[in-house]
Amino acid sequence: MTVLPFNNFTFVNIINTIVFGLFYKEKIKINQLIMWLSVFVILITSISIYYSGEYFASASSKVGDYLGLSKSAKGATLDAISSSMPELMISLFSLIVFHEFSVGIGTIVGSALFNILIIPAVCVFLAPVVFKVSDEVVHRDGLFYNLTIIILLTAIFFSKEWSVSVAIIFLGTYFLYIFEIFRHGSTQNYVTNLLEFFKHGPKLPKKRVKKRKTKVRFEIGIMLFTLLIIAVSSYFLVEHAISLSHFLGIPPIIISFTVIAAATSFPDLVVSATNAKKGDISDASSNVFGSNIFDILVGLGLPIFIARLIKIPVIISVESMTIVFGLLASTVLVLYIFAEKMILTKPKAVLMLLIYLGLVAYTIFLV
C-alpha cells in the first residue's frame, strides 16, 4: 500500500479555499451593506445640513436686520457665512480629524463652482424681474473674488505644504473684504442722506423704536443650536464619504468635489433662490460671490491655521491643483458674462449649466 505524502501547505490552501468559498458571498453582502450604509448616512446628513442651514440662515438674516445692515452687505456677510458653514465644518473635520485635506479642498472648490455657475443660472429662471447684476456687486465682490482666486493659485504654485503664514494671508484678506463692505455701506448711507437733505430739506428726528433684545437672543440661540447640528452632520458626512471612496476605489476628492459639494451648496441655493423670487437680485448675486470668498479664505484658512498650530502637516495634492484650475476658468468666464451689460439672460443661464456639467465631467476624468 502506497502512502501519499501529506503536504501541510497544500492542506491549508484547501481549507482556505473551502472557507473562502463558503463565506465569499456573505463577505460580499457585508461589504455591500457597509457601502449602502455609507450612502444612507451621506443622504441623511445632507438632508440634516440642508434643513439646519435653512434655520441658521433665517436666524442670521433677522440678526442682520436687527443690526441694520444693507441688503448687499447682509448678502455678502451673514447670508454668505450662514450658507457656507457646512463647507467650513467639512474642511475642519477632513483636515483636523481625518487628515484628508483633499476632501476639504474638493468640497470647497466644488461648492464654489456650484455657487458661481448653478445658483445664478437657477435664479434667472425664478426671478420675476430681469436678472441685472449691480455694478456694486461686480466691482466690489467680483474684485475681491478675483483677488481670492489669485491668492489661492499663488499659494498652490509656490508651496506644496502650506504653513501658518498661508492661513494668515487667507484670513487677513477676508477681514479686509469685510472692512470694505462696511466702509462702502457707511459711505453709501452718508451720500444717500446728503442727497435727501438737499432734495427735501432737514428731517425731523424719528422716534427711536426700542429693539427687542430678547428676540435677537432667541435668534442667536437658534444659530448656535443649528450650528451644532451642522457640525455633527458634517463629521459623519466626511467620515462616510471617505469610507465610500475607499470602497469604490476612487480618490476621496472625487466624492467631495461632486456629491458633498452639491449637498452643502443647497443652503446657498435656497438663500439665493428665495431672494431671487422676491426680486432682490442684489442679495442673490452678492451671496454667490460672498459665499465663495468665505469658502476659500475662511473655509481653507481657519482649518489650516488650527492644523499648523497643533503640528498637522497640510499637503496639497496634484488633484487639488487640477480642480482649482477648473475654478479659475469658470470664474473668468462668469465674470465676462456678468460684465456684458450686467444682465444674465436665460440663454446665458443654460450655457452656465452646461459649463458646470462639462467641468465636473472633465475633472472626474482627469483625476
Q: Is residue 174 part of a domain?
A: yes
Quote the CA–CA distance of 302 and 83 in Å, as a whole number. Answer: 17
User: Mapping DSSP to helix (H, G, I), strand (E, B) and coil, where does residue 315 land?
Assistant: strand
What's the pLDDT at 283?
62
Quote the CA–CA distance of 363 and 367 in Å, as a whole number. Answer: 6
Q: Is residue 17 part of a domain?
A: no
DSSP at 202? P
The predicted model scores a pTM of 0.76
Q: What is the 3-state secondary structure (H, E, C) of 58-87?
A: HHHHHHHHHHCCCHHHHHHHHHHHHHHHHH
For residue range 146-169, list pLDDT tens digits in order.
888 889 888 888 888 899 999 999
What's the pLDDT at 196?
47
Q: Which residues of the chain have pLDDT under 50?
A: 1-9, 11-12, 15, 22, 186-198, 201-202, 204-209, 211
What's the pLDDT at 92?
93
Q: Is residue 18 part of a domain?
A: no
Sign, Cα dihedral of 120, 124, 125, 128: positive
Q: Report how many domains make up the chain.
A: 1
For 56, the domain range is: 24-196+213-366
What's the pLDDT at 172?
94
What's the pLDDT at 301?
94
Q: Is residue 301 part of a domain?
A: yes
Q: Is residue 203 part of a domain?
A: no
What's the pLDDT at 192?
47
What's the pLDDT at 305?
95
What's the pLDDT at 281?
66
What's the pLDDT at 9?
45
CATH number of the domain enclosing 157: 1.20.1420.30
Q: Is residue 10 part of a domain?
A: no
For residue range 73-82, list pLDDT tens digits in order.
666 667 767 7
Q: Is residue 11 part of a domain?
A: no
In the chain, helix, strand, coil percent, each to 5? Answer: 85, 0, 15
Quote the CA–CA distance of 218 and 326 in Å, as a whole number. Answer: 42
Q: Is residue 201 part of a domain?
A: no
User: Mapping DSSP to helix (H, G, I), strand (E, B) and coil, where does residue 98 land?
Assistant: coil
